[in-house]
C-alpha cells in the first residue's frame, strides 16, 4: 500500500514538473524575441572566417563554450583512465573472433577514416565539424579495438597524454596568444580566422576521438568466469 502511494506521489510530482515546464515553454513561445540572433549572426558571418553559421558560433562567436567543453572532456577522460586497470588493455578475452566483424572492419575502417576527414573539412560551409568527425573517428577506433587490432597509443604513456591534451592546449595557446597580441581573449587576429579555426578543429577532432576511445577502453573489464552485470539480482 505504501509502495503504491509512493509511486502515485512520484507520478504526480513528475506530471506537475512537466506541467510547469510546458507552461514556461508556452509562454516563451508567445513572447517576442528580445534580440534577433539569427539576423545578427547573418550580418557578422563574413567576419567569422567560415561560411556555416553553426561552426561560426562554435569556433568564433562563442568559442569560450567550446574551449570549456574540450576542458570538460579532457577531465572526464583523465578521470576515466585513472580508474582503468592497465592489464585489461591487452586482455585476450576481450577480442572477438567474429568473422563478420573482421570482414566488415576491412571495409568500414578506411571508409570511416575518410568520412571523418570529410566531416572535418565540410564543417566550414555545411553541417559537419570537429565533433562529428571526432565521433566517427572514435567509432572506428572502437571497431578496431573490438576486432583486436593492437593500438599501443592507448596504453598509459606519452602518446595518450599528448593525444588527450593536444586539442585543449592548442586552443588555449591560440586564445592566450591573441590576448597577448592586443586583441581580446579568444579573438582571432584579422585575416587569420580561417586557418586558425581549421587548425583548432583538426586538433579538436583528434582529442575528442581520443577521449571517447579512452573512456571506452578504460571501463574495467570483468574476468571471464565472473557473471556479467545484470545476470544476477
Partner 1 sequence: MSTQLLYAFAGVALCGIGLFGFIRLDHLLRKLLAFNLMGSGVFLVMVGLAQRGGEPDPVPQALVLTGIVVAIAATALAVVLIRRYYHLSGRTTLAAPGPERKSTTKPAADREGAEV
Angle between helices 158-180 and 63-82 (to 10 degrees): 160
- C-beta closer to partner 1: residue 38 or 150: 38
Q: Does 233 bind partner 1 (CB under 8 A)?
A: yes
All residues at 6 or more sequence positions from 138 whose CB lies less than 8 Å from its CB, including other chains: 208, 209, 210, 212, 213, 216
Half-sphere exposure of 97 (CA within 13 A, CB side): 2
DSSP 108-139: HHHHHHHHHHHHHHHTTTSS--HHHHHHHHHH
Q: Does 218 bind partner 1 (CB under 8 A)?
A: yes
Tell me the Cα Rg of the chain.
Answer: 23
CB 187 within 8 A of CB 197: no
Q: Does 104 bind partner 1 (CB under 8 A)?
A: no
Q: Does 34 bind partner 1 (CB under 8 A)?
A: no
- Taking the complex as a whole, the smallest distance from the CB of residue 226 to partner 1 amounts, in Å, to 6
Q: Does 108 bind partner 1 (CB under 8 A)?
A: no
Q: Does 62 bind partner 1 (CB under 8 A)?
A: yes
Q: How far apart are CA 139 and CA 131, in angstroms?
A: 12
Q: Does 58 bind partner 1 (CB under 8 A)?
A: yes
Interface with partner 1 by CB under 8 A: which range of 78-86, 103-111, 153-161, 186-194? 78-86
Site for partner 1 in 143-172 (CB under 8 A): none
Residues making contact with partner 1 (CB under 8 A): 7, 10-11, 13-15, 17-18, 21-22, 25-26, 28-29, 33, 37-38, 41, 53-54, 56-58, 61-62, 65-66, 69, 72-73, 76-77, 79-80, 83-85, 129, 131, 135, 208, 211-212, 215-216, 218-220, 222-223, 226-227, 229-230, 232-233
Amino acid at each position: 500500500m505504501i509502495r503504491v502511494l509512493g509511486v502515485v506521489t512520484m507520478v504526480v510530482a513528475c506530471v506537475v514538473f512537466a506541467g510547469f515546464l510546458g507552461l514556461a515553454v508556452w509562454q516563451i513561445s508567445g513572447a517576442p524575441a528580445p534580440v534577433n540572433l539569427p539576423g545578427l549572426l547573418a550580418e557578422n558571418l563574413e567576419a567569422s572566417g567560415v561560411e556555416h553559421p553553426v561552426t561560426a558560433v562554435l569556433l568564433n562567436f562563442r568559442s569560450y563554450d567550446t574551449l570549456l567543453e574540450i576542458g570538460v572532456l579532457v577531465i572526464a577522460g583523465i578521470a576515466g583512465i585513472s580508474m582503468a586497470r592497465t592489464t585489461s588493455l591487452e586482455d585476450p578475452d576481450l577480442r572477438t573472433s567474429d568473422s563478420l566483424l573482421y570482414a566488415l572492419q576491412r571495409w568500414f575502417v578506411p571508409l570511416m577514416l575518410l568520412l571523418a576527414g570529410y566531416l572535418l573539412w565540410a564543417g566550414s560551409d555545411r553541417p559537419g565539424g570537429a565533433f562529428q568527425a571526432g565521433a566517427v573517428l572514435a567509432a572506428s577506433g572502437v571497431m578496431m579495438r573490438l576486432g583486436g587490432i593492437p593500438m599501443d597509443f592507448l596504453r598509459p604513456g606519452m602518446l595518450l597524454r599528448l593525444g588527450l591534451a593536444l586539442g585543449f592546449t592548442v586552443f588555449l595557446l591560440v586564445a592566450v596568444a591573441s590576448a597577448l597580441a592586443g586583441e581580446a581573449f579568444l579573438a582571432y587576429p584579422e585575416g587569420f580566422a580561417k586557418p586558425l579555426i581549421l587548425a583548432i578543429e583538426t586538433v579538436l577532432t583528434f582529442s575528442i576521438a581520443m577521449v571517447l576511445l579512452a573512456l571506452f577502453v578504460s571501463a574495467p573489464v570483468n574476468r571471464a568466469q565472473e557473471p556479467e552485470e545484470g545476470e544476477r539480482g
